Amino acid sequence: MQMPVPRADVIAQRARLFEQLRAVLPDEAVIVDPTETRAYECDGLTAYRCPPLAAVLPATTAEVAAVLRICHAAGVPVVPRGAGTSLAGGALPTADCVILGVARMRDVLETDYANRFIRVQTGRTNLSVTGAVEADGFFYAPDPSSQLACAIAGNIAMNSGGAHCLKYGVTTNNLLGVTLVQMDGTVVEIGGPFMDAGGLDLLGVICGSEGQLGVVTEATLRILPKPEGARPVLIGFDANEVAGACVSDIIKAGILPVAIEFMDRPCIRATEAFAHAGYPDCEALLIVEVEGSDAEIDEQLGLIRQIAERHNPVEFRESQSEEEARKIWLGRKSAFGAMGQINDYICLDGTIPVSELPHVLRRIGELSKQYGLDVANVFHAGDGNMHPLILFDANKPGDLETCEAMGAEILKLCVEVGGCLTGEHGVGVEKRDLMSVQFAQADLEAQMRVKDVFDPMWLLNPAKVFPLAASEGRRG
């Protein structure tokens, strides 16, 4: 993977830059010591690393603006950072950049139950947003599996999703407003505790812009009342195709589960060995969760059972207690950890039309044989967001490259069948060079023009999202 050549002039001027940064931030918030900047050398995509020139940790919107004004004037690239859990290399530094981390900005600024919103600083973690309102019966719906660690900042930048977004939507559907600091230091308020934009929907394009349009320092988020109850079932099948058909039938029947998760045999076996959740040893399993009162849950699960039985499941397991419910989710929730125990892996994130599921799984199986690497599939089946995990051995020379080549094949397949490269993890550097598979030049041009407006000098996270060749003339 290629990154732009670091700008020698910026690096040469670094002493002056550090001095300017220290003039607007407390000393401990300006990190320049190479042993300390190493902490920021990568995000969740650990295959790529590069320490930044400096990392700064402002505590207020005004401090963020001051930092950006300095970097803007000096022509220094800035990479915003939340918790650094991106799986796409979105927060990967370059050697000439300043990492602007919002980790010290974690306050709750306002909670308003009558109007159902919370306003927070964006360094706050996803789970602690729910933590701030759950005692009063509310929650923040988007729930990425990384929710204990990841920050609202990164959630907004990546438009993150989670297991429950089939019913509640992803970040963009739960975001009401942001405070955005532009690269030149201008502070803009967009949206707020009311619905929809009065003019152009700028909020809609800021969400998911991967830190390229501005630094988001505060956010107004929609909160929802907790459901009366929720209960999962586990359904096992002897073929992937059958599980896929069952998903489609559940959806057509007018039931709206909060989550439909899918695991295939390699994934089931690996997680079973790791988490001992007691999953059946079958080709494919679904975890379907529904919400409501006890009676409502019973009724929905009754319907789901009827539908599933038409597909001859090898197992239909209802949870009779909290403990059983926990066990049903346990394997799914430890899937990534389990795979990590037995192997190195890369996790793909393409989305496909649900109807293409059997075809795509079959093709992935063929590619797996062709490339000689195992693949485990675990994903959000209700919305077609796949997470094939390709297993490789990092110590074996060439294995990562083979793995990436196979990953690219799978993502191309997703696009070919009418889907996309990434459903929730974002493009970052990881899928940057595949963008032209999904988009024509005019499509990319339209997106890059948006960045031209927000960040005319292309200083914010400039080497991400767009193929380097496509953005070349724009980057300084």
Partner 1 sequence: MRPQTEAELAEAVRGAAGPLVVRGGGTRGIGRPVAGEVLETGGLSGVTLYEPGALTLVARAGTPLAEVEAVLAAEGQRLPFEPMDHRGLLGQGGEPTLGGMVAANASGPRRVQAGACRDSLIGVRFVDGRGAVVKNGGRVMKNVTGYDLVKLMAGSWGTLGVLSEVAFKLLPAPESAATLVFDGLDSVQAVEMFAAALGSPFEVNGAAHLPDGRSVLRVEGFASSVTYRAGALGRHLARFGAPGVLDSEESAALWVSVRDVAPFHNGGGDVWRLSVKPTDAPGLVAKAGGEALYDWGGGLVWLRVAVGTDLRGALGGFQGHATLVRASADTRRALAPFQPEPAPVAALTQGLRAKFDPRGILNPGLME
Number of amino acids touching ligand FAD (CB under 6 A): 37
Shortest distance (Å) from residue 452 CB to partner 1:
6
Shortest distance (Å) from residue 63 CB to partner 1:
19
Pairing of strands 230-237, 284-291: antiparallel
**Which partner in ligand FAD, partner 1, none is near 44 (CB below 5 to 8 A by kind)?**
ligand FAD
What gap in Å lies between CA 365 and CA 422, rounded to an integer? 20
Toward partner 1, which CB reaches closer, 54 or 152?
A: 152
Of 61, 94, 179, 422, which lies in the binding site for partner 1, with binding defined by CB under 8 A?
Answer: 422
Shortest distance (Å) from residue 362 CB to ligand FAD:
25
Of 26, 278, 353, 476, which lies in the binding site for partner 1, with binding defined by CB under 8 A?
Answer: 353
Of 19, 36, 189, 309, which lies in the binding site for partner 1, with binding defined by CB under 8 A?
Answer: 189
Residue 458: how many other CB atoms lie within 10 Å: 20
* Contact string (CB under 8 A) for partner 1, positions 110-129, x = contact: ---xxxx-------------
* Burial category of 33 from C-beta neighbours within 10 Å (exposed 0-12, middle 13-18, buried 19 and up): exposed
Strands (E), 88-229: 98-101, 108-112, 117-121, 138-139, 175-181, 187-191, 215-222, 224-225
Query: Does position 168 bind ligand FAD by CB under 6 A?
Result: no
Query: Does position 424 bind partner 1 by CB under 8 A?
Result: yes
Amino acid identity of residue 82, one-letter, is G
Whether residue 96 contacts residue 77, with contact meaning beta carbons closer than 8 Å, is answered with: yes
Which of these segments, 56-64, 331-339, 369-377, 423-431, binds partner 1 (CB under 8 A)? 423-431
Which of these segments, 207-215, 220-228, 274-282, 406-414, binds ligand FAD (CB under 6 A)? 207-215
Strand partners, 215: 181
**Which partner in partner 1, ligand FAD, none is near 85 (CB below 5 to 8 A by kind)?**
ligand FAD
Toward partner 1, which CB reaches closer, 304 or 391?
A: 304
What gap in Å lies between CA 170 and CA 166, rounded to an integer? 8
What are the angstrom distances between the C-alpha of 244 and each of 145, 219, 249, 263, 438?
Answer: 23, 37, 9, 11, 25
Of 17, 141, 215, 259, which lies in the binding site for ligand FAD, with binding defined by CB under 6 A?
Answer: 215
* Contact string (CB under 6 A) for ligand FAD, positions 51-80, x = contact: ----------------------------xx
Report which secondary-structure segment, H or E, holds 316.
Answer: strand 315-318
Query: Does position 150 bind ligand FAD by CB under 6 A?
Result: yes
| Cβ within 8 Å of residue 331, ≥6 positions away | 263, 268, 271, 272, 275, 277, 279
Whether residue 103 contacts residue 31, with contact meaning beta carbons closer than 8 Å, is answered with: no
What gap in Å lies between CA 445 and CA 449, rounded to an integer? 6
Query: Does position 355 bind partner 1 by CB under 8 A?
Result: yes
Query: Does position 232 bind ligand FAD by CB under 6 A?
Result: no
Q: 129-137 long-range contacts, Cβ below 8 Å, gap at least 24?
A: 129/221, 132/108, 133/223, 134/226, 137/225, 137/226
Shortest distance (Å) from residue 401 CB to ligand FAD:
22
User: What is the DSSP-derived secondary structure letter of residue 321?
Assistant: S
Query: Does position 419 bind partner 1 by CB under 8 A?
Result: yes
Query: Does position 351 bind partner 1 by CB under 8 A?
Result: yes
Shortest distance (Å) from residue 181 CB to partner 1:
10
Segment 13 to 42, residues that bind partner 1, using CB under 8 A = none
Shortest distance (Å) from residue 241 CB to ligand FAD:
25
Whether residue 134 contacts residue 155, with contact meaning beta carbons closer than 8 Å, is answered with: no
Question: Which stretches of the chain bind ligand FAD, using CB under 6 A?
Answer: 43-44, 79-87, 90-91, 102, 122, 144-146, 150-151, 153-155, 157-158, 160-162, 210-211, 215-216, 336, 424-426, 461
